Structure 1
Amino acid sequence: MSISKLACAGLSIGVELPLDNDWSADGVRRRDRDDRPFGVPDMSAHLKLIQQADRLGFRAAWVRDVPLYDPAFGDAAQVFEAFTYLGYLAGQTDNILLGTAAVVLPLRQPWLVRKAAATVQALSGDRLLLGVASGDRPSEYPLFGVDYQSRGQLFRDSIAVLKGQQDTQLGEGQAILPAGVTPPLLVAGLAQQSPAWVGEQLDGWLAYPGTPADHERRVGLWREVAGDKPYVSFIHLDLQEDPQAPVRRHRFGLSTGVQGLIEELNQMQAAGVDHIGLHFRRNERPLAETLDEIAAQVLPLFHSQ
């Protein structure tokens, strides 16, 4: 099952899409040249880079679900609709797990989410990790005719559909196809729910980025309510060319050399984190070069365990 591949044998390392460095100094220059709004990435090399990450052995690739680009939030994620994009990537990659971080359930019809997820799971060869969320951008909800304050209840209702707990609504002989294909469900944050409910109902937790000390506290809570279910988080990384460059922290991540990254990941593993997705939008170096260096010097220290 895909979730067992995510969290087997210690810490695993993946990537968060889009694979661009649009928030670097060079990325800003390219964005201005192309007349792209802030947060809308350059997707011209996306396929080449995700195939490189797959070939190099990164464990998972995570896509965000951003239904509406809003310049007030300044992030269009990977531009493409999440399930459509994952279906495309499923046919263009071989081994890398494909995760959503995370589908905004209150803005989607849950029976169609179930069908879309089962489709990607079947076509990818059991590689989907279905991360779900209640959403946190109030401006999206009026467009979709959804009450923002009701998103917690809508989330619970959708989970019931995704887990088959509402199949009594189906008529005789009716089914959501492909049948019997159920991807693991991971939740981003708490989705307006209690920790106990999340730990019981979901298969993993997508935690917001933080320091190893932050994660140690959060992992402790997660273990109390969910046992050994996977705990996942992300690092916004700017990997310096000097391997000994010291760690300098910024919002959601750090700038450091490869030795500092290894130490950070060791601390994450010691804190109980099962998987880290690396986000490269702040990365000043070319991404193909950065992926190669991490694959050569970092992945073998963790993925061979």
Structure 2
Amino acid sequence: MGRSEVDFDLPSSLKSHPGFRRLFSPGKMTVGLMFPIEPLYGHLFPRMIEEIRLAKAAEDAGFGALWFRDVPLHDPNFKNIGQIFDTWIWLTTIAAHTNQIALCTGALVLPLRHPIHTAKAAASLDILSGGRFVAGMASGDREIEYPAFKIDYDKRGELFREHVAYYEHMLKEHFVEFENGYGHLKDADLIPKPQSERIPLLVVGEARQKVEWTAAHADGWAMYFREPEVQRERVQMWKDACHSAGVSVFKPFVQGLNLDLVEDADATPEPINGGWKVGSKHLLEKLKACEAAGVNHTFIYCWDCNRPTHDIIEELTETILPHFPVDTSVPTRSMKAFDPDSGS
């Protein structure tokens, strides 16, 4: 079984990373929001008009992170298309309008991108955001997208592993010679290199990998919602996989939560797809149970809620966030420290 996560320290390469530190501490949980923040009110396409203002409000309220989807094409078989805008452009826009909140992808679909593009964008955002970027990555599940990119859907698990390997080499090493299915790199280097010693990498979903591979190669694991008593088993699976992989540092467990927060604070939980319809009092009990089960961060999406967004954020700020504070001990970095000659 291995030791409790509270017995493990943070990875040395991430102790000074503002985004990782804001979100993750052994034995504790923080709360974030996923775009679009505003409920959909039954519409397929989010309006996005108020999202920048809402992002700033979420930061001021004390949420740990904002989460960004990666949905390149509209697939009618799926009812949600994310925040509509290109992931990297939207990330950069929100980074320019916020100062402290972590910026997380949930998740970049790696097989549909080239690792050089991913690495250059990630390193650039790391610098421009002051070290707030946390890279959530997945293999993707929208089969209709793959022929458009001339990618074999059945090979997405293999491509995911190759992409991660190429991406990591590009970020860490100078003028490395490397070859896999994405190409042959020789006598050329990626610029810029990130200012962070390491950009945190979370695998989102299973990504068609064994959990032991994820434990060995990722800095954390993000999974779908489950009731706390069931999620506890998945958390234990994660801890066991980390132990089997010889991991001796803290690696967080993340979950998503679909929340329909009703006005009646005493309303008991009703299951909905991916979460609960519930009042704030019982929501707090449920989230405390998630924390006790070993969940280190929960990102909330309120797409099915019928209340004004301001009311939702205000109630969560007053009733939930004080119980799940973020770590603000590591400030974001200044661009003044960026040296383009060394990338550090």
**Cα distance in 1, alignment partners of residues 225 and 156 from structure 2:** 23
Question: Post-superposition shift, 1:171?
Answer: 3.7
Q: Deviations over 1:165-202 (max 9, x none)?
A: 78323444x32111144411101112111111110001
Indicate yes or no: 2:60 matched with 1:51.
no
Matched letter for residue 23 of structure 2: L
Aligned twin of 2:220: 204
C-alpha displacement of 1:243: 1.1
Q: Given the alignment, which residue of 169, 178, 185 partners 2:201?
A: 185
- C-alpha distance in structure 2 between counterparts of 1:204 and 1:176, whole Å: 25
Q: Distance in 2 between matches of 1:148 and 1:301?
A: 42
Structure 2: unaligned runs, 5 residues or longer: 1-16, 179-184, 244-249, 328-344
Number of equivalenced pairs: 291
Q: Say whether 1:18 aligns with 2:36.
A: yes
Hey, what's the Cα distance between the residues in 1 that align with 2:89 and 2:230? 34
Identity of aligned residues (%): 35
Cα separation, 2, equivalents of 1:160 and 1:149:
19
Give CA-to-partner distance per residue, 1:135-189, whole Å, 9 cap, x none.
11111000000011111111011000121178323444x3211114441110111
> Does 1:69 find its partner at 2:78?
no
What SS class does the counterpart of residue 259 from structure 2 fall into?
strand
Cα deviation 1:72-116 (Å, max 9, x = unaligned) = 112110001111110111100111100000000000011110000
Residue 214 of structure 1: how far off its partner (Å) = 2.1
1:8, distance to aligned residue in structure 2 (A): 2.4
Letter in 2 for 1:176: L
Hey, what does 1:133 align to over in structure 2?
138
- Determine the C-alpha separation between the residues in 1 that align with 2:127 and 2:189: 16
Aligned to 2:20: 3
For 2:209 and 2:25, the matched residues in 1 are separated by 28
CA distance in 1 between partners of 2:190 and 2:133 (Å) = 17
TM-score between both structures, scaled by the size of structure 1: 0.92
Aligned partner (choices 246, 264, 286) of residue 242 of structure 1: 264
For 1:234 and 1:180, the matched residues in 2 are separated by 28
SS at match of 1:187: strand
State the match for 1:281 in structure 2. Answer: 303
Instruction: Give the SS at the match of 2:177.
Output: helix
SS in 1 for 2:80: coil
- Secondary structure of 2:154's aligned partner: helix
Look up the equivalent residue of 1:168 and give its one-letter code: E
Kindly indicate whether the alpha-carbon contact (under 8 Å) linking 2:62 and 2:326 is maintained by their aligned counterparts in 1.
no
Change in Cα spacing, 1:304 to 1:63, as seen in structure 2 (3 Å) is closer
The runs of 4+ residues in structure 1 deviating greater than 2 Å are 169-172
Check conservation: 2:127, 2:194, Cα contact below 8 A.
Answer: no
1:26-60 deviation per Cα after TM superposition (whole angstroms, max 9, x unaligned) = x13xx4xxxxxx2x111111111111001111000
Q: Deviations over 1:103-136 (max 9, x none)?
A: 0000001111000011111100100010000111
TM-score by length of 2: 0.82
- CA distance in 1: counterparts of 2:70 and 2:47, whole angstroms: 17
Output aligned runs, 1:65-104, within 5 Å: 65-104=70-109
The answer to whether 1:149 aligns with 2:154 is yes
- Which of 206, 211, 228 is residue 195 of structure 1 equivalent to? 211
Please point out which of 110, 118, 122 is paired with 2:123.
Answer: 118
Q: Using the alignment, how far apart are the partners of 1:204 and 1:244 within structure 2? A: 34
In the TM superposition, 1:201-280 aligns within 5 A as: 201-226=217-242, 228-280=250-302
For 2:193, the aligned partner's letter is A
Q: Distance in 1 between matches of 2:326 and 2:300?
A: 19
**Which residue identity does 1:224 align to in structure 2?**
D
Q: Find the aligned partners of 1:247 and 1:91 in 2 and give their Cα distance.
A: 37
- Alpha-carbon separation, structure 1, partners of 2:191 and 2:104: 21
Mapped to 1, the partners of 2:33 and 2:186 lie a distance apart of: 41
AA of the residue aligned to 1:179? K
Amino acid at match of 1:191: A
Please list every run of 5 or more consecutive structure 1 residues that lacks an aligned counterpart in the other structure: 32-37
**Root-mean-square deviation (CA), in Å?**
1.5
